């Protein structure tokens, strides 16, 4: 039996169907390059602790859906500052939780997120979804096709959907065959 996994062909043994998700998990984790952390703020240090787990969720989801896992070597993570918001309409420092700047690979995080780690992880998921859209030129494509007023809401909806899906995605496993460490 063979399965196509993101361009790779893996041989699967017929007697252990549970092999697949675990190989996927290892594969997705192996592919993660480290992002660059641009400052030593508390929120960036906290993001660094959780980055691998969140990026692994996304890559696992992508690989399991026949897509290429993302490398994160180009990504730059920093604390959100006033100048980061200069091109944004309607959002201020108190309301913008995170920001991804297409074309620059910069991901900015609101400093208050250190007080809510589950929310920090949700923001990371959403902004990594934008990084995925950016790498695949999906953002550019929507803006070209629909313009900014109609394109941005579509981009945001799709990022929210991908963030929710990567968070919920659990490969099919049977714990009897697996040991955890």
- Binding-site size for Zn ion (CB under 5 A) equals 2
Dist. CA 90–CA 88, nearest whole Å: 7
Closest Cα partner for 105 from 38, 6, 29, 27? 38
- Least distance in Å: CB of 126 to Zn ion? 6
CB atoms within 10 A of CB 56: 18
**What minimum distance in Å lies between the beta carbon of 124 and Zn ion?**
12
Q: Could you tell me which of 75, 114, 77, 79 has the C-alpha nearest to residue 93?
A: 79
| Minimum CB–partner distance for residue 159 and Zn ion (Å) | 5
Residues 109-168 that bind Zn ion (CB under 5 A): 156, 159
Q: Write out the binding residues for Zn ion, residues 36-75 only, by CB under 5 A.
A: none
**Between residues 20 and 47, which has the closer beta carbon with respect to Zn ion?**
47
Q: Which is nearer to Zn ion, 26 or 156 (CB)?
A: 156
Helix ranges (DSSP H) in the chain: 19-30, 42-64, 117-135, 138-168
- Collapsing DSSP states into helix, strand and coil, what is residue 124? helix
Separation in Å, CA 126 to CA 10, 13, 22, 109, 133? 30, 36, 25, 11, 11
Which lies closer to Zn ion via its Cβ, residue 5 or residue 124? 124
Give the nearest distance from C-beta 76 to Zn ion in angstroms: 17
30 or 156: CB nearest Zn ion: 156
Q: Which is nearer to Zn ion, 64 or 123 (CB)?
A: 123
Least distance CB 98 / Zn ion (angstroms): 8
What residues line the site for Zn ion (CB under 5 A)? 156, 159
């Amino acid at each position: 039996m063979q399965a196509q996994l993101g361009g790779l062909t893996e041989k699967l043994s017929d007697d252990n169907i549970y092999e697949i998700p675990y190989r996927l998990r290892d594969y997705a984790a192996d592919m993660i390059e480290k992002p660059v952390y641009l400052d030593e703020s508390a929120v960036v240090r906290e993001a660094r602790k959780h980055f691998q787990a969140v990026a692994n969720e996304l890559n696992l989801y992508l690989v399991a859906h026949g897509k290429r896992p993302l490398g994160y070597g180009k990504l730059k993570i920093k604390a959100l500052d006033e100048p980061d918001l200069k091109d944004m309409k309607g959002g201020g420092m108190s309301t913008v939780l995170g920001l991804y700047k297409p074309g620059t690979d910069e991901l900015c995080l609101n400093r208050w997120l250190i007080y809510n780690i589950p929310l920090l992880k949700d923001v990371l998921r959403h902004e990594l979804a934008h990084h995925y859209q950016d790498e695949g030129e999906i953002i550019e494509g929507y803006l070209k096709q629909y313009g900014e007023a109609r394109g941005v809401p579509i981009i945001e909806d799709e990022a929210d959907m991908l963030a929710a899906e990567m968070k919920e995605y659990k490969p099919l496993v049977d714990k009897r065959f697996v040991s955890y460490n």
